[in-house]
Amino acid sequence: MRVLIVEDEPNLGRQLRATLEGAGYAVDLATDGEDGHYLGSTETYDAIILDLGLPEIDGLTVLDRWRKDGMAVPVLVLTARDSWSDKVAGLDAGADDYLAKPFQTEELIARLRALIRRASGNSSSELIAGDVRLDTRSGKVTLNGEPVKLTAQEYKLLSYLMHHKGKVVSRTELIEHIYDQDFDRDSNTIEVFVTRIRKKLGPDVITTIRGLGYSLEDPAA
């Protein structure tokens, strides 16, 4: 899953980026509203963390522009403002959730997970496809109840497919959602990751749709 952080406080921005990367997310960081608006408008994200008190363009304006342009990516608003009017303004501008500073990073990550789950139509933190289970809280994957060790990129790819179970996902979409902006993206690595996941979870866990991409189905469906 790929996340954009728009935060002008350098220490907080770096801390959030490191924390989310440690939790398995691909992360881009913008430090002002202008860059944040540009990245959100031109790159592909599963969720955005947006501070309201930004230089260049304030967060409410950025969010309002995104929504007017039809961008439906879930947005978690961060702000030092704690009045009810600021919360209402953020939600009315199109925010999906709201977190006032200071906050615990564990709560932010939990809210982020929930936003991404809901956006993809999943209500539970545990994603299931046949005998494969992926716990988004712990980052653990099991097959028939037995833990399976995946690399960080294998986990990101499997997680994205499980969030979008039953849908055909192109190689381009996978690349956009599991790598950050600065990563040297190579579509051939997707095939490598799929092959490794099949070896660990079974040859039928991911289906190749010739000319279109990949699909993860639930055998029990």
The three state secondary structure string of 133-195 is: EEECCCCEEEECCEEECCCHHHHHHHHHHHHCCCCEECHHHHHHHHCCCCCCCCCHHHHHHHH
**Pair 101, 50: CB distance under 8 Å:** no
pLDDT for position 102: 86
3-state helix/strand/coil string of 58-71: CHHHHHHHHHHCCC
Contact 90, 61 (CB under 8 A): no
Q: What is the pTM of this model?
A: 0.83
Predicted pLDDT of residue 130: 87
Q: Are 153 and 193 in contact (CB under 8 A)?
A: yes
Task: Please state, in angstroms and rounded to a whole number, the distance separating the CA atoms of residues 89 and 218.
Answer: 41
pLDDT of residue 29: 96
Q: What is the CA radius of gyration of the chain?
A: 18
In this structure, which amino acid lies at residue 151?
T
pLDDT of residue 137: 87
Q: Where are the domains of the chain?
A: 2-119, 126-215
Homologous superfamily of 2-119 in CATH?
Response regulator (3.40.50.2300)
Q: Alpha-carbon distance 177 to 156, whole Å?
A: 9
CATH of 126-215, one of 3.40.309.10, 3.10.129.10, 1.10.10.10, 3.40.50.300: 1.10.10.10
Q: Are strands 213-215 and 207-209 parallel, antiparallel or unpaired?
A: antiparallel
Q: What is the pLDDT of residue 147?
A: 95
One digit per residue, the tens of pLDDT, for the chain of length 221 reads 899 999 999 999 999 999 999 888 999 999 999 999 999 999 999 999 999 889 999 999 999 999 999 999 999 998 876 667 777 888 888 899 988 888 899 999 999 999 998 888 877 888 998 899 999 888 899 999 999 999 988 999 999 999 999 899 999 899 988 887 766 666 578 899 999 999 999 998 999 999 899 999 766 55
In this prediction, residue 45 carries a pLDDT of 95
Q: How much is the pLDDT for 184?
A: 63
Burial of 167 (0-12, 13-18, 19+ CB in 10 A): middle
Count other C-beta atoms under 10 Å from residue 194's C-beta.
21
